Amino acid sequence: MTTKFRPRFFGAILGGAVGATMIAAPVFAGDPPAIGGLSVVPTDGGYRITATVDGRSTAAIDAELTVSKSDHAGRVRTRQSRQVITESGRHNEIATSQISMADEGTLKVSLVLSVEDRIVYRISQTVTQEIPD
């Protein structure tokens, strides 16, 4: 039996893969004065989350880290914010959080950087933890 190449089906698969990649990519307007970074590291029973800001120019950056977790124990949402004065080449750790998580659950982490209430950079990461059958 031969299989025919179906361009529409292939395009739908490729389009879905590209869409998923674009969702995970950071979003910023123009040349942002700072770039945010997220580190989500597994620990015994949970995750350690660190948010950083790397300056590209001098600016007063409002940084907000939001962490949402959902598992069999329930839901938790926490937010930490801080203003930092960035300078070109300067690395700032702005927030660290530790969160416990059951064997199955979802963790969503996002970092938003703003200047005078205007978002200049946004990055997010989602971790889904499952036990295979």
Band (pLDDT 50/70/90 cuts) for residue 62 is very high
- State mean pLDDT over 95-123: 93
Mean pLDDT of the chain: 80
- State mean pLDDT over 40-66: 94
Nearest-angstrom CA–CA distance, 83 and 97? 17
pTM score: 0.74
| 33, 54 contact by CB (below 8 A) | no
pLDDT at residue number 26: 52
Angle at 124 between CA 123 and CA 126, to 5 degrees: 160
- State mean pLDDT over 84-112: 92
Question: Based on the structure, what is the number of domains in the chain?
Answer: 1
Percent of the chain with pLDDT over 70: 77
- Which residue segment(s) compose the domain that 53 sits in? 30-129
Q: Name the strands in the sheet holding 34-43, side by side, starting at the edge strand that comes first in the sequence.
A: 34-43, 46-55, 91-100
Nearest-angstrom CA–CA distance, 17 and 33? 30
pLDDT at residue number 131: 75
Angle at 37 between CA 46 and CA 92, to 5 degrees: 105
pLDDT at residue number 14: 35
| CATH assignment of the domain containing 39 | 2.60.40.2420
pLDDT at 20 over 90: no
Reading the block at residue 105, the tokens are 């659950």
Task: Assess if residue 19 is contained within a domain.
Answer: no
Task: Assess if residue 8 is contained within a domain.
Answer: no
* 3 state DSSP class of 9: helix
Band (pLDDT 50/70/90 cuts) for residue 87 is very high
pLDDT at 1 over 80: no
Task: Assess if residue 103 is contained within a domain.
Answer: yes
Reading the block at residue 58, the tokens are 């001098």
Task: Assess if residue 25 is contained within a domain.
Answer: no
Residue 79's contacts (CB-CB under 8 Å, 6 or more residues apart) are 64, 65, 66, 67
